[in-house]
Amino acid sequence: MSNKVTVLGSLNVDTTLRVARMPQPGETLSTENKSSAAGGKGANQAVAAARAGAETRFIGKVGNDDAGRFMVESLKDDGIDTSAIITDPTIGTGSAFILLDEAGQNSILVYGGSNQQIKAEEVMAVEDEIAKADFLITQFETPQAATLAAFTVAKKHHVTTILNPAPAAKIDPEILKVTDLVVPNESESAILTGIEVTDEASMDANAAKFRELGVKNLIITIGSKGAYYATADGSGFVPAFKVNAVDTTAAGDTFIGALSSQLKPDLSNIATALVFAQRASSLTVQGLGAMPSIPTLAKIEAASK
């Protein structure tokens, strides 16, 4: 039985500009290459879940424009159920501009567009879809009021909720009370808890703080080093696979989507699911572009041999 994963999230057309290095303030640089692809944290996570074998649904909003139609078709190409994607008649589809340097580091500018127009009542209207899921995942590229509504509905139906608090933002404390698993990177975790992530003791302190805030389970992703986890059953650290990173865009999104495809709703297999998620994200960083480089289950399994 494959996991049923529903993602509430953002749909952006990503334009990537390749540069030798990041420009300084006031400096003009020429770009070496320009490419466009489907993206957005929500869309990337959904595609990662679907390609890793999960039965995936998407809740989101696009504009009545070519970019919106392109985003919906892109998700359908990966077998994702798009029936809960709404078209906004007045606001355009979200977009992102990614500066990517020769070292594989990126800087990203995001225009929220129709992603920012998702209303709590629109989420409540697809309660039946949320109720069918094993996991509901969301991020902060859509409004927090929609997240709170979705997670509240999910908890009513015993659906496990996963929050990726990215990009980092001031968070409605009510959201954390209906979050089963929070998955920040080290800087996002520090912003939410006020505790700098430097070593295992500080990670344990972050986990304790999240428990105080109402979230029992935590995964902190630490770039090329690996991931820390803490659940009711204990905590640990899963090292990352050493690879030559070409483009780190969507590495974190791949990690979360792939994780949700393998995780049991009670999180009892978190350590093995984390190894799978690390493997998937290590493949993503070796390819260019967000969505094009997200691996399939066959690729992840082949790399695991």
Residue list, annotated binding site = 12-14, 40-44, 141, 185, 221-226, 247, 249, 252-253, 284, 287, 289, 293
> CA–CA distance from 61 to each of 58, 72, 220, 232 (Å)?
10, 10, 29, 36
Which of the residues 88, 101, 253, 266 is marked catalytic?
Answer: 253
* Count of C-beta atoms within a 10 Å radius of residue 212: 10
> CA–CA distance from 225 to each of 162, 239, 262, 265 (Å)?
22, 6, 21, 26
Find where tokens 């350590």 sit: 271
Determine contact, residues 146/115, Cβ cutoff 8 Å: no
Q: Which residues pair with 235 in a beta bridge?
A: 230
Residue from 248, 202, 247 nearest 223 by CA: 248
Find where tokens 């334009």 sit: 15
Determine contact, residues 137/8, Cβ cutoff 8 Å: yes
Q: What's the token pair of residue 242?
A: 């050493």
What is the enclosing helix (H) or strand (E) of 230? Answer: strand 226-231
- Rounded to 10°, the helix 66-77/41-51 angle is 20
Annotated catalytic, 134? no
Tell me how far the alpha carbon of residue 133 is from its chain's centroid.
17
Active site residues: 253
